[in-house]
């Protein structure tokens, strides 16, 4: 397979480590819910985290990523009887879990002692620790407490402008997953970050579909398209939650797509879910009502690889880089890389930017942030920041989504001080038609509306 990587890709430095096509690819191990905090409790989760960091250090992992959020960072808490009272609420705020707020409540990484423990382990083992914040106050907490060397922006937050606003103000590198983004929305986010004088931006793509054929839907063609458009201006990479298994009659070890992305399509950065081992980690559990009980489950084990698999991945990533760079590798390694490329071709898809049908049909692409009411708003109410929530949800579950104009987070300045034309219930979207004042969807987000140094918590 021909290597089309140029030598013009820029370099981004994170904690002194240079990342770009001329440097060995940077592998970021995503721990996420694999600490099993809710299942093990604080002491048990601390012990498990130490094992994960120790295993990562033993095999040469450079960096580990966690997540930083509270349930309120992503969703609105709605009483079960209210969720059940309307079909659109049951779907929008259930998202296949029964209660999406409760899911986040069960699986989030608590701030305070446990998060401090994770950053301390990074210092102890000499491993860089990064995090993905999901709300404005999450960024403030990370910056003021740990001052991490970079920030990750998740796939459904790439155009969550209040979050981008405060991340930009840190001036640190931004690792932004644009796997479900259309080209025009990527351009809008990048333009805002450039005008805000943010740190350099690394663009990631990869599979957003977890539940269907994650090999077929890996979509390396999307990385190829990003390479052709942004390869000379941005470091590129993959967010990879693909796990080993048999697909289309072929067995995959779990590293094939990222290795091919490095060898053939210019990737210099890979985020990969890592769980160390699965021994003693319980499977999916249900509560008394039949809903998933993630407090007794490993929420990310099904999308993570174990130590030996990560060790193999690190080896083949290095071999792919050496071959891409024109350096000598063994004939056996060269043959294996050719086989890896052929296997990975199953997940190429089409060379295009944007979500495919599989990601749209499974709601993996459509749950980016929009503006919701976090309290009941009567008609004639002047909208204040405390009234708003920038929520993840299955938005189109609300039937009005087809006939009304949903408001992306870029419009927040226009919503503030606007007056409600009709009553809006807590948990419902605020549409343009809900307000008396006109909303211009083409108007760019107003930078600086959310200040990094602001101390009061904002529900975002």
Dihedral sign computed on CA atoms, order 136, 141, 146, 147: positive
Residue-level pLDDT at 458: 39
State how far the Cα of 422 lies from the Cα of 380, in Å rounded to an integer: 7
Q: Which domains does the chain have, with CATH numbers?
A: 12-70+108-347 (3.20.20.70)
Residue-level pLDDT at 295: 55
**In the numeric block, which tokens belong to residue 445?**
């987000």
Question: Across-strand partners of 30?
Answer: 65, 273
Mean pLDDT of 71-83: 91
For residues 251-269, one letter each, b for 16 or more C-beta atoms within 10 angstroms of the residue's C-beta and e for the rest, the string is: ebbbbbbbbbbbbbbbbbb
Q: In this predicted model, what pLDDT tens digit does every residue of 197-208 receive, in sequence order?
A: 999 999 999 998
Look at strands 17-19 and 12-14 and give their pairing.
antiparallel
- Which is nearest to 170 in space by CA: 112, 130, 205, 203? 130
Q: In this predicted model, what pLDDT tens digit does every residue of 334-376 receive, in sequence order?
A: 999 999 999 999 999 999 999 998 898 888 888 999 999 999 9
- Answer yes or no: are the C-beta atoms of 370 and 390 closer than 8 Å: yes
What is the pTM for the complete model shown?
0.92
- Which is nearest to 277 in space by CA: 68, 107, 54? 54
Q: In this predicted model, what pLDDT tens digit does every residue of 125-152 receive, in sequence order?
A: 999 999 999 999 999 999 999 999 999 9
Q: In this predicted model, what pLDDT tens digit does every residue of 206-241 receive, in sequence order?
A: 998 876 688 999 999 999 999 999 999 999 999 998
State how far the Cα of 241 lies from the Cα of 154, in Å rounded to an integer: 13
State how far the Cα of 13 lies from the Cα of 337, in Å rounded to an integer: 28
Q: How confident is the model at residue 2 (pLDDT cuts 50, 70, 90)?
A: very low
**In the numeric block, which tokens belong to residue 137?**
């106050």
- Measured from the Cβ of residue 345, the count of other Cβ atoms closer than 10 Å reads 15
Question: Does pLDDT of 391 surpass 90?
Answer: yes
- CA 435 vs. chain centroid, Å, equals 32
Sequence-distant (6+) residues with CB within 8 A of 380 are: 419, 420
Residue-level pLDDT at 106: 80
Question: Does pLDDT of 85 surpass 80?
Answer: yes
Measured CA distances, 182 to 37, 152, 155, 246, 356 (Å): 35, 19, 12, 31, 10
**In the numeric block, which tokens belong to residue 279?**
């021994």
Query: 3-class SS at 89?
Result: helix
């Amino acid at each position: 397979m021909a290597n089309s990587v140029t030598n013009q890709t820029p370099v981004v430095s994170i904690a002194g480590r240079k990342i770009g096509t001329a440097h060995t690819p940077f592998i970021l191990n995503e721990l996420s819910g694999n600490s099993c905090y809710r299942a093990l409790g604080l002491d048990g989760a601390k012990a498990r985290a130490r094992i994960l960091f120790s295993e990562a250090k033993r095999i040469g992992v450079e960096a580990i990523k966690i997540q930083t959020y509270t349930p309120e960072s992503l969703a609105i808490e709605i009483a079960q009887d209210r969720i059940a009272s309307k079909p659109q609420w049951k779907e929008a705020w259930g998202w296949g879990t029964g209660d999406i707020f409760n899911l986040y409540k069960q699986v989030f990484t608590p701030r305070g002692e446990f998060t401090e423990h994770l950053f301390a382990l990074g210092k102890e083992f000499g491993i860089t620790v990064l995090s993905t914040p999901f709300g404005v106050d999450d960024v403030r907490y990370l910056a003021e407490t740990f001052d991490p060397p970079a920030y990750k922006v998740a796939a459904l937050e790439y155009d969550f402008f209040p979050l981008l606003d405060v991340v930009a103000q840190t001036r640190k590198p931004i690792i932004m997953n644009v796997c479900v983004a259309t080209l025009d929305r990527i351009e809008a986010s990048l333009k805002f970050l450039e005008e805000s004088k943010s740190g350099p931006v690394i663009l990631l793509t990869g599979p957003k579909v977890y539940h269907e054929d994650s090999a077929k839907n890996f979509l390396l063609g999307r990385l190829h398209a990003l390479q052709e458009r942004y390869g000379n201006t941005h470091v590129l990479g993959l967010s990879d939650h693909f796990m080993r298994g048999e697909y289309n009659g072929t067995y995959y070890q779990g590293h094939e797509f990222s290795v091919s992305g490095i060898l053939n399509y210019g990737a210099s950065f890979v985020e990969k879910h890592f769980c160390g081992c699965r021994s003693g980690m319980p499977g999916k559990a249900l509560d008394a009502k039949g809903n998933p009980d993630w407090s007794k489950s490993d929420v990310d084990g099904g999308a993570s690889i174990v130590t030996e698999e990560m060790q193999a991945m690190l080896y083949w990533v290095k071999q792919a880089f050496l071959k891409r760079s024109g350096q000598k590798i063994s004939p056996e390694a060269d043959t294996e890389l050719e086989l890896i490329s052929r296997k990975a071709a199953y997940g190429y898809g089409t060379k295009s930017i944007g979500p495919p049908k599989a990601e749209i049909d499974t709601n993996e692409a459509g749950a980016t942030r929009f503006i919701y009411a976090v309290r009941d708003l009567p008609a004639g109410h002047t909208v204040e920041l405390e009234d708003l929530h920038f929520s993840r949800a299955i938005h189109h579950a609300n039937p009005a989504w087809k006939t009304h104009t949903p408001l992306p987070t870029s419009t927040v300045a226009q919503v503030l001080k606007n007056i409600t034309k009709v009553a809006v219930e807590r948990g419902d979207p605020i549409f343009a038609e809900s307000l008396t004042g006109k909303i211009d969807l083409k108007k760019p987000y107003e930078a600086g509306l959310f200040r990094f140094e602001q101390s009061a918590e904002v529900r975002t």
